[in-house]
Structure 1
């Protein structure tokens, strides 16, 4: 028995019981037959009107319930972009509103699952691609050494050096994948400590002296005198600065200047790394911090790393409660910045 039939039968039974009680009361009053017939007719007419009125009033309710049922069926069939009209009595409107909220959340969850699957597939494809080149290089060089086709000692040393370099690339890629995975799972320890800003920058820049000298690049450092020390996890922010400075060197032309600025904004410490390179197209900037995203689409290692560096930077900065971004004009260089909130 459906809801409409149940409501109508219930109403009919209540009217029938009411009519029986009235009829018994009429008889007990010892009324004349003419008056009894008239009262009975009036009672039946009132009952019929009540029944029809009840039928008309429950139609909007039933329509609203059917609407919710219909959309719920669509969700069960795998369609999650559904919405119920919020009409009818107040309770039904609340039901429709809650249903729409639930539907929206379910759709978001399904979209998140699909996006996660897409990223997983993309991750496997990108890692496979980035692993293929160094593995192939190592294999070809090892085979050449095993077959003893190299008679020149200098060439032999070059082959060994290439194997070492490609091995380092493999190790760095795997370390980045592992580190990003730990960050996204929230399993990276976070124990901030008070750190001197100048000592942090000296430590970072000293590791890039030779790389900068090869391209004739000069570092200009400006530190706000109010920024003596900050509360950070030194290794994590060291990694962020190292990545930004390494990218600035890689994409700068020879003889250029890279400027590192540390300033106080009141509520946060702002780090800025500015280069004089080619810049980043505007349409690329919104995706620059996505994992495996590279402006250079061929994934040629000569033009950059794995595409995980900036994604890891974003995760580390977010872990500190800060923000990271980029300002760039094509042909005029780029400025990468990130903030570290005060205590």
Structure 2
């Protein structure tokens, strides 16, 4: 243009030739695409800005995690030392105080971990390491042992039944461990009496199925469609009577997707819940 500003045009042309192949003239179109190119450039800038924002958010959360974890680990270490050193001299109230410090600190660490994991998934920062994993011996058996104490403290029976020990799957070990750790944690957390069952079996097609069943508070039919949404909890029970941030099941759903697994839930209020995770055969 005369003012020195360039504009974008899309030019298309085809030659008109005679019988000998000599070009006589050109026929074509010239379309002003300046508006489209400007929009495209704005979209590219917006994408780059969003990516930079995600990067900064991830770096910020990682730094905050470090800042929170470091003093908490010092508190936990010192509390454990004092507890071990003076346990025989403390009364019940003092021992309960130390147990409260331990539980509260670990709860904060778990919450930080959940926030970081969800953020990592949202920014596509998590890269799964898919390999053959023995679901029975490497994951479920260990989680069963790890959760025995927490179940016993609540007077609950924790049962693990493996109907087929040939349970090798292609999965990311870390994320699939988190799936079942969260489901078992929740089952124990929201069950006041009765039992929590872990069942590993295969269906008629050979697909591996893991069920986590509890006799806990359950969920209403109206709430079930929202159960895997982040930051969502059922008002009665889940928010008022129990601690939680509503991130655990959202993370479980995303981790199942990463591992090509399907998760389903059946639940009845005041009766209990059953989570079913199905892995494709092969």
Under TM normalisation by the shorter chain, which class is it?
0.5 to 0.7
Residue 229 (structure 2) pairs with residue 286 (structure 1):
no
Is residue 279 of structure 2 the alignment partner of residue 340 of structure 1? Answer: yes
CA spacing shift, 1:174–1:164, aligned 2, 3 Å: same
In 1, Cα distance between equivalents of 2:202 and 2:177: 17
Unpaired segments ≥5 residues, structure 2: 1-67, 76-88
**Could you say what secondary structure the match of 2:226 adopts?**
coil
SS at match of 1:282: coil
What per-residue deviation string (whole Å, max 9, x for no partner) do you get for residues 11-51 of structure 1?
A: xxxxxxxxxxxxxxxxxxxxxxxxxxxxxxxxxxxxxxxxx
* CA distance in structure 2 between the aligned counterparts of 1:296 and 1:189, rounded to whole angstroms: 34
Structure 2 CA distance, aligned partners of 1:226 and 1:210? 24
Stretches (4+) displaced over 6 A:
none
Q: Contact conserved, 1:219 with 1:258, CA < 8 A, in 2?
A: yes
* Alignment match, 1:165: 103
Over 3 Å counting, the alpha-carbon distance change for 1:264 and 1:299 in structure 2 is closer
Alpha carbon RMSD of aligned pairs, Å? 3.3
- After superposition, where does 1:1-343 map in structure 2 within 5 Å? 159=97, 161-199=99-137, 200-225=139-164, 227-264=166-203, 266=205, 268-296=207-235, 303-343=242-282
Q: Distance in 1 between matches of 2:193 and 2:279?
A: 31
SS of the residue 2:180 aligns to: helix
Give the deviation of 1:326 after TM superposition: 0.8
- Cα distance, 1:301–1:334 mapped onto 2, change above 3 Å: same
TM-score by structure 1 length?
Answer: 0.50
Tell me the distance in 2 between the aligned counterparts of 1:341 and 1:324. 12
Q: Distance in 2 between matches of 1:321 and 1:332?
A: 30
Q: Contact conserved, 2:213 with 2:273, CA < 8 A, in 1?
A: yes
Structure number with higher helix proportion = 1
Count of equivalent residues: 198
TM-score normalised to the size of structure 2? 0.60
2: CA distance between counterparts of 1:236 and 1:334?
22
The structure that has the greater radius of gyration is 1
Deviations 1:266-293 (A, max 9, x none): 3742221111223210000110111111
Q: Which has the higher strand share?
A: 2
Query: Using the alignment, how far apart are the partners of 1:254 and 1:298 within structure 2?
Result: 15
| Distance in 2 of aligned mates of 1:216 and 1:224 | 26
For residue 262 of structure 1, report the CA deviation from its aligned partner: 3.0
* Of 258-267 and 206-215, the range deviating more from structure 2: 258-267
